[in-house]
Chains A and B, each alone.
Chain A
């Protein structure tokens, strides 16, 4: 780890080192009692004043400026009063040491803040800095914001895709990791869309620009993450309000401590003034004011590096409180694509059944026909096929290798007078008859995403009490998916508007302190997404409507990301709570100890700057996102 300091920090470091050296020298000199007794009081004062002014001069200066501007309760002022007070009481070493310690802490704090700012910037380093465009036969380098729609750009291997576009020539692999968190490269060929921010891995691509830079995915993502800090979580607002009252209250308590006990119990003022000064040192709420927003920002930054965009700290907070997750079925838990899921042959092998079905459907471009041909996987032998006739809404009749084939739904079989297996399966049943006798059926249905089951298990392990699935599909299909994935409840045969009312019922039944999240693919469930406490859109790379409606956007369509998002939100809120409790406890403890004279200024400086640094370091943990 390299340490990079900016100019201001370097200056501060030099002053601290120089002041420390003089301070040690002063301590040694007064310890050795080489100074004649009649001068020692003055000599001590001057000896300690030099390092004090050296290290604390800017604090004193800023405090004075702030008082002129009418700002009293600021850190600089409080530190100045506390240290000047120590000098007035004749405790010179304490005065210098507190200032020195304070400055070391400030330096460390500023370093830690810069470091985390840089780490977040690195995570978000998806901004392309140049583009190549072909003009008059030669390739020119331009800035991405100079490109306009329909320009043809060149993307070389190793370069970032500068703007959204469509490949017109060339093929390559794209690394989408910085956008989706997915490490598997994506193949692109002519006709495929490419998204800005991805890195071109292998071949040169010629791409036609479809969106200008300011409307491209990469710009939208960066805007979204940067604006996220303006939607503050309740906890953040609480800290802001709290700090507004905390400092004045502690300062008033310090004043009371300095005046009341000496008057009541006739005790020496100096003792109580010292305790009061200790109070002042603890009175800055810095640890909280810095570390809480930093935690949220770190959490949001870490999430976006894994392809999870959170639109604000408030949504991260709400997600952490979620114990009911409602899913849309198609496109969210299932692939939204048809494929052959079951084969039930009668008096033949499964392969034969599939072969007959695939050949009968050879000329059809219906999604169901395509899924059968995909399942068959081998080229169809057109030469063996004759007399193909398609009957709309029923199926296909054909002759294949001299056999009469009929492939279609139950209506087709009934019209041919063939009795069929009338069991009900989830999905679409396609029956096959060969030379007038029943040969069995295939079931075609939407397949469950490979990670869906694992995602539900992980959500349950994270303490989600209820999982619900909403679908417009049939009850049979819904029941089978729900059973396969271990989903607690399902509502089937819903029209889009029904989904909103079902979700509202779920929200109304919910414990008010807990939240309901809805996950959809954002294509036709935008109203449901915006109605939920936390609306999550998935697979939304490039879909503007979904990004608009959702509170959290998953860049790819992997349901495991839902669990990861929940995990990140829980971790972030955990760190936020740790920091609040830790900072308040230490401060309160030091205040109580100081009131009884058990804590000195050293303890107070720790409670102020030390706690802030520890809280910042803790907050930086939010940046590390570990999957699973």
Chain B
């Protein structure tokens, strides 16, 4: 499944790169990419764990940039 999310308050490009590499490492994620300019996160992951993965990804974003949150 492939889904696009909006990243609010994404202010630091370096953080976006860190988030991207960390989300890619989440178990079950086939591919993830963050566009700093469009503030978008695209996750491609297994259907069975998708919701759990999105939660984990949101936690990663929060940890890297405390103000940042994911919106569908």
Contact = CB atoms under 8 A, between A and B. Distances in A.
B37 A289 contact: no
Contact of A226 (B9, B17, B38, B64): B38
A226 B40 contact: yes
Interface string B50-72: 00000000000001101100000
A13 to B, nearest CB: 15
B9 A8 contact: yes
Contacts, number: 52
Contact of A293 (B9, B11, B37, B64): B37
Q: Top 4 closest A-B pairs, CB basis?
A: A229-B35, A230-B33, A290-B13, A297-B37
Nearest to A229: B35
B35 A69 contact: no
A230 B38 CA distance: 11
Contacts of B9: 8
B18 to A, nearest CB: 8
Nearest to A297: B37
A285 B12 CA distance: 11
A74 to B, nearest CB: 8
B72 to A, nearest CB: 16
Contacts of B40: 226
A290 to B, nearest CB: 4
Contact of A286 (B13, B35, B38): B13
Interface residues of B, number: 18
Contact of B66 (A65, A226, A297): A65
B13 A229 contact: no
Interface in A207-249: 226-227, 229-230, 240, 243
Interface string B1-17: 00000000101111001
A591 interface: no
A437 interface: no
A616 to B, nearest CB: 10
Contacts of A227: 42
Interface of B: 9, 11-14, 17, 33, 35-40, 42, 63-64, 66-67
Which of A113, A116, A297 is the most central at the interface, judged by chain B CB atoms within 10 Å of its CB? A113
24 contacts: A8-B9, A8-B11, A8-B67, A75-B14, A113-B11, A117-B38, A117-B39, A226-B35, A229-B33, A229-B35, A229-B37, A230-B42, A243-B14, A285-B14, A289-B14, A289-B17, A290-B14, A290-B36, A293-B13, A293-B37, A294-B13, A294-B37, A297-B35, A297-B37
Contacts of B11: 8, 110, 113
Nearest to B15: A74
Nearest to B37: A297
A120 interface: yes
Interface string A3-22: 00000100000000000000
Contact of B63 (A69, A75, A110, A240): A69
Given A69-B63, A289-B13, 10 more contacts: A8-B67, A117-B37, A117-B38, A229-B33, A229-B35, A229-B37, A240-B17, A285-B14, A293-B37, A297-B35
A227 B63 CA distance: 25
Nearest to A240: B17
Which of B12, B37, B40 is the most central at the interface, judged by chain A CB atoms within 10 Å of its CB? B37
A62 B67 CA distance: 10
Contacts of B37: 116-117, 120, 229, 293-294, 297
Interface string A60-76: 00100100010100010
A284 B12 CA distance: 12
A293 B14 CA distance: 11
